[in-house]
Structure 1
Amino acid sequence: MCKKVNVRSLLVSMGAVFIFGVSTAQAEGLKLGYVDVKSAMENTTDYQRGMKSLKAMQDQKVKELQTLGGKISQQEKDLLGQSMAMSPDRLAQKQQELKLMRTEFQRKQQDAQEALSTEQNRIQMNIGAKFEKVVKSYGKKGAYDMIMPRPMFLYVDPKHDITADITKLLDAEK
């Protein structure tokens, strides 16, 4: 029977074998660093500005949806209160209008979710591209042999943490 291999576990194992497989003499000569990628990116000015913009966009979409939801709710109340006095044709017409409003609400809700997701991805892609460039440059300038993402290992000596430096460089990158 085949077992599924967890890719993250495999990478961690391979990294551990690589790091610990290096002889002591070589290990002392290695210059290592690690970055908490999430923290480095989320603490940048661009990310904070982007999240503020995303929040404003979300608030606007919520307000639009609440307005439409209120109209639907009012239509439902009106229909319920007046349905006995309406002709069957008029009742069917009002029910159809209500159905169309609900469909429009669902469509707008989906569109809002897609727009928010697209904007969040755009923000992350922009910062991600800068992040890769900054880390490579930092690694070359600092003569690092390896810069790893923080969650890759269970423990790394904090003296190897370069997250704050990377965040500062990301903020300086325009």
Structure 2
Amino acid sequence: MFRSLILIVGLVFSFNAMAEKVAALSVQQALMNSKAAEAYRDKLSSEFSSEQKQLSDLKAQVKKIQDEIKKGQDTQSKEVQDQQRVQFQKAYGEYQRLGQALQQKQRQREEEFLKQMRPKLDVVIRSLIESGDYDMIVSKEATFYVKPELDITAKVVELLDKQ
């Protein structure tokens, strides 16, 4: 037991001696905060604008039908109420289907963007390591706490934007 404790303490001290320049990086945040990501989001926004409009129109239609159902609960016949409920269910189902399809398309396009940007990010990280600025770069998401001065995400975004 005592030997293991000495070994662990020794490893910790040797690790600290070896890795003096440690930094943390949020890869996803760096990629998504870059100018390339902003331009890509703008492109997607214009590309999906007609589908977004259609989704917005469906949402308004669903709300209108829902309001009509509430208004007519006491005054309309059961048949009319049933028709409105069916109409509501159809419109709401279409709204959900279109919304999910649009979200999936957007996720796929975001993944494509991340794959496209990954080689550029790798070049930036490699250049930081080769410059001798850092002995170790760890994933910010894999840490419990990182001092703000050790977070190089903003620096990586800046370097990505220069490429």
TM-score category by the smaller chain? 0.5 to 0.7
Return 5+ residue gaps in structure 2 as ranges: 1-7
Q: Give the TM-score normalised by structure 2.
A: 0.58
Q: Secondary structure at the match of 2:145?
A: coil
Q: Secondary structure at the match of 1:51?
A: helix
Find out whether 1:110 has 2:63 as its counterpart.
Answer: no
- Taking the aligned partners of 2:36 and 2:53, their CA distance within structure 1 comes to 26
8 Å contact 2:23–2:152 — kept in the other structure?
yes
Specify the code of the residue in structure 2 equivalent to 1:131.
L
Partner residue of 1:127?
A: 117
Do the aligned partners of residues 67 and 17 (structure 1) sit closer, same or farther apart at CA in structure 2, a change above 3 Å counting? Answer: farther
What is the percentage of aligned positions where both structures have the same residue?
A: 21
The CA deviation at 1:35 is 3.5
Partner residue of 1:44?
A: 34
Return 5+ residue gaps in structure 1 as ranges: 1-15
Aligned length: 151
Query: After superposition, what is the alpha-carbon deviation per residue over 1:117-152, rounded to whole angstroms, capped at 9, x for unaligned?
Result: 222333333334432332123212337432223452
Partner residue of 2:54?
A: 64
Specify the code of the residue in structure 1 equivalent to 2:21.
L
- Taking the aligned partners of 1:101 and 1:23, their CA distance within structure 2 comes to 61
CA RMSD in angstroms, aligned pairs only:
4.4
Query: After superposition, what is the alpha-carbon deviation per residue over 1:51-80, rounded to whole angstroms, capped at 9, x for unaligned?
Result: 3444556765442122234445667759x7
8 Å contact 1:34–1:162 — kept in the other structure?
yes
